[in-house]
A and B are shown apart, each in its own frame.
Chain A
Amino acid sequence: DIQMTQSPSTLSASVGDRVTITCRASQSISSWLAWYQQKPGKAPKLLIYEASSLQSGVPSRFSGSGSGTEFTLTISSLQPDDFATYYCQQYNNYPRTFGQGTKVEIK
């Protein structure tokens, strides 16, 4: 199975900050990576697919990059609505696997 490791687990930031979350795969997954945002009590929401493609309707302050085994999700200017938990997920093969999540908190 491909292990997905996110860092950090928790991130404290202020509105307007630039935020970067890293996701590492235990083996190459090419660009077959998605990022999701989840708020308490809600289902996850797709933000990015194929490592860097922005899902329709997602604000342009979100961006993704990387390939192979190392990936990043960047929020260029953190907004109040962005405080949430973020997950990466590989879809290179089965079983599909998620990172453990990164919680973005208010500083």
Chain B
Amino acid sequence: EVQLLESGGGLVQPGGSLRLSCTASGFIFSDYALTWVRQAPGKGLEWVSSISSYGPSTYIADSVKGRFAVSRDNSKNTLYLQMNSLRAEDTAFYYCGLAVTGPFFDYWGQGTLVTVSS
């Protein structure tokens, strides 16, 4: 059974940093691309960043470019999102998504909440 478990969310002050993790099981982690999608409370879905199966290719939304970085450790079956210079508008649930059938999201984690506030 495919499982994706996000962690690392919490309350952080504006300008602070946080690293999110998404630990996976139930599939061959290194074979698939992964994505971070976020959702501000009560709002719609926003794509944040994607990384290819072996990590040479990464893509990032303009809204977080220069502040966020995606990476993966295939030996630990873990996806990361390093978030720096956090702003109030980064407050959201952050989900990791797995692309198996095609370049869309067959599986999702349960999400982790990041709150940026003083």
Q: Is B25 close to A, CB under 8 A? A: no
Total A-B residue contacts, Cβ distance less than 8 Å = 53
A98, B44: Cβ atoms under 8 Å?
A: yes
Given A43-B95, A43-B110, is A97 in contact with B104 using a C-beta cutoff of 8 Å? Answer: no
Digitize B74-118: 1 where CB-to-A-CB distance is under 8 Å, 0 elsewhere. Answer: 000000000000000000000100000111111011110000000
- Taking a contact as CB atoms under 8 Å apart, the answer to whether A89 and B45 are in contact is yes
Chain B residues positioned under 8 Å from A32 (CB to CB): 103
State the main secondary structure of chain B at its contact with A.
loop
The answer to whether B44 touches A87 (Cβ under 8 A) is yes
Q: Is there contact, CB below 8 Å, between B111 and A91? A: no
Q: Flag if A95 contacts B105 (CB, 8 Å).
A: no
The answer to whether B106 and A44 touch across the interface, beta carbons within 8 angstroms, is no
Q: Which residues of B contact A (CB under 8 A)?
A: 35, 37, 44-47, 50, 59, 61-62, 95, 101-106, 108-111
